[in-house]
Chains A and B, each alone.
Chain A
Amino acid sequence: MPARKSATPQPTNAELDILTVLWSRGPSTVREVHEIVVERKPTQYTTVLKVLQIMAEKGLVRRDEKQRAHRYRASRPREWTQRQLAGDLLQRAFEGSTKNLMLGALSAHKASKQELEEMRRMLDEYEENER
């Protein structure tokens, strides 16, 4: 099946770790990425290099070849991948349990748009008074 252009494939766990580094530190060389990844997991430099090459093929990262040491940067903004992963994560986490929706709503008590506006208004009011 031909992949649609917009559908960048889901990153694997190792790829996600590297993407996180790129989102955190901005465009980086393989060495820079490796230095940060190795702080949490013992990883070979060549492994990081190989994963980054695969990611470049998949279109998850772009390679900037202008300088002698190639710099990689994430091709998508972090919000986009985060949204994709969050949806998938929920599915995976509650696999086998069909009754999760009932409590899923409870855990997702995010403030509504009106509430957010109200909060902003209260904050502005407070800061007016303080001044």
Chain B
Amino acid sequence: MTWTLQLPLAYGLAWALVHFLWLGALIALLLAATLPLLHAAQTRYASACAAMTAMAAAFVAAWAWSMPQVIAHAMPQASGVASTGAITQPVGLIAASSAFENALPWVVTLWAAGALTIGLYHLGGWISVRRIRRVGVCTAPPDWQDRLSRLASRMGVSQRLVLLESSLANGPMVVGLLRPAILFPVGLLSGLPVSQLEAILLHELAHVRRFDYLVNLIQTVVESLLFYHPAVWWVSRLMRMERENCCDDAVVAVRRDVGEYVAALVTLEERRCFGQEPAPAATGGILMNRIRRLLRQPEEPRAAAGLILSMGLLLGAFCVIAVAQQAEGGAQAAEQNRAPSPQAEWLNKDVVYIIADEERAAFERLQTDEERDRFVEQFWERCDPTPGTTKNELKDEHYRRIEYAVKRWTASVPGWKTDRGRVYILYGPPDEIESHPSGGTMKILNFSSAAPFSVWRYRRIEGIGEDVWALFEDKDRTGDYPLNRELVARKLE
């Protein structure tokens, strides 16, 4: 399987998927803690919507945050010394750990497969709903259209609506985003008392007034993308449930007769033969609880399985991330214990791969920090491709590479010290990368290994030649991927 670091989006996505495990669980827990304080269906629904939005936002934020930064941080202009500080800082959420890194392509692949499957499923559902809207329908008799517009104005719906009788719908439903239609199974109009039918119509009208069709579509998209998290299922289920409760309340607010309405709901459920989502239906949701609620009967304790699972995942994810961060933290602590001076760090880290021997010797001869600072400044000025401008493109790119290497390859040693880091800092991003996170064979180089390895190809490197290949093999499985010496910069015909 191929995994290239030229795909910062995918790399960020993988980390966002991992981090969402605890982010999602955290949001769900917050919601679960808030819910017992809220009693009105409207506020409960609003909180569930807010939680769903927060989940989507958290995921996007985690994605943005985990993306390797392509543009270097703005470097302080005045002194080259201070700029090094920006690089040793912890790189956001990214706690690079080799075992994790190797699993990341799989995380993305599995997620994509799951999201695609669920997306297709919902697409199928959506197509079938559209078909139900168009096929096997006829407009209901005119007296019912009049009744509908009368009820619509009582419910405060200004949109033009049509009542259709349908052979395919097996329960009353609202379909359509711009020109919504209310569908009643054909025959229902003559099968139930008019007062009950009006109550059902009011329920559907409440869905129209509240834009539930649109919200449900958006909800379904979010749910399909974050399908792997039980907390999302839980919040989504809660939204669906409270949405129906809200509509129930709206019906009861307009017509005081609860008994009539409940009788209508029960009769509808008895007549139903198949269930169809994702059109919000009067029979949708957990009918039993809705009826209990309407009749003010004590509700059964709700299943908290999703919540418990979320908490488990939360803890699990915390542990994994803590371990990963400890690995990185340890490496950083070791670095900090030595507490090098900024000038020494400049020599031994920032420019270690690019400084010439004579320059190094000259730098080491300097006596004071002021002299060294001036040296650093002059060093960068000498290689500025556009002297006279405030920007030094070469320097910016160099620091970007260092930062990238730290983010990307820090395992047992900081990323910039690894061979991959060194090659990257010296020669920039390769033209091609082929990764074998679980070993394999690379025919063109006549190489095979059970250990993870990664092959880079540069089309051309100044001073070395054309078509240069570098093979990094993680022989000791430390995640450091040392360069396989035999193959370094070998020119292939």
Contact = CB atoms under 8 A, between A and B. Distances in A.
Interface of A: 13, 16-17, 19-21, 23-25, 36-37, 39-40, 78-79, 81-83, 85-86, 89-90, 92-97, 99-100, 103, 106-111, 115-116, 118-120, 122-123, 126-127, 130
A40 B259 contact: no
Chain B CB within 10 Å — which of A20, A23, A120 has the most? Answer: A20
Contacts of B297: 122
B187 A23 contact: yes
Contacts of A122: 291-292, 295, 297
Contacts of B154: none
A97 B288 contact: no
Interface string B229-265: 0000000000000000000000000000011001100
A66 to B, nearest CB: 24
Interface stretch (B123-131, B343-351, B449-457): B123-131
Given A13-B135, A40-B139, A97-B117, A111 B168 contact: no
Nearest to B263: A123
Interface string B91-129: 000000000000000000000000001101101110110
Contacts of A89: 128, 131-132, 168
Contact of B269 (A19, A23, A111): A111
B170 A95 contact: no
A113 to B, nearest CB: 10
Contacts of B168: 16, 82, 85-86, 89
Given A23-B167, A116-B266, A126-B262, 6 more contacts: A82-B273, A95-B124, A97-B120, A116-B270, A119-B266, A123-B295
A110 B170 CA distance: 12
Contacts of A120: 266
Top 9 closest pairs, chain A to chain B, by CB: A93-B128, A108-B275, A107-B277, A97-B120, A94-B124, A16-B136, A93-B124, A20-B167, A99-B117
A37 to B, nearest CB: 7
A130 B258 CA distance: 10
Given A17-B138, A107-B275, A116 B269 contact: yes
Contacts of B277: 106-107
A20 B124 contact: no
A122 B295 CA distance: 8
A24 B262 CA distance: 25
A20 B132 CA distance: 12
A100 to B, nearest CB: 5
Nearest to A92: B128
B118 A103 contact: yes
Contacts of B166: 20
B40 interface: no
Given A13-B135, A116-B269, A24 B291 contact: no
Contacts of A23: 165, 167, 186-187
A57 B287 CA distance: 43
A100 B189 CA distance: 33
Contacts of A123: 259, 262-263, 266, 291, 295
Contacts of B276: 107
Contacts of A86: 168, 170, 273-274
B136 A119 contact: no
Nearest to B120: A97
Interface in B266-294: 266, 269-270, 272-278, 286-288, 291-292
Nearest to B135: A13
A112 B266 CA distance: 12
A108 B170 CA distance: 12
Contacts of B262: 119, 123, 126
B137 interface: yes
A111 B290 CA distance: 12
Interface string B166-188: 11101000000000000001110
B259 A127 contact: yes
A107 to B, nearest CB: 4
Nearest to A12: B135
A7 B209 CA distance: 44
B274 A108 contact: yes
B140 interface: yes
Nearest to B117: A99
A110 B139 contact: no
A76 B123 CA distance: 32
Nearest to A98: B117
Given A108-B274, A116-B266, A122-B295, A19 B124 contact: no
B251 to A, nearest CB: 16
Given A85-B167, A95-B124, A123-B259, A36 B138 contact: yes
B120 A96 contact: yes
A110 B272 contact: yes
Contacts of A116: 266, 269-270
Given A89-B128, A99-B117, A119-B269, A78 B186 contact: yes
A130 B121 CA distance: 46
A117 B270 CA distance: 10
B288 A115 contact: yes
Contact of A36 (B117, B121, B139): B139
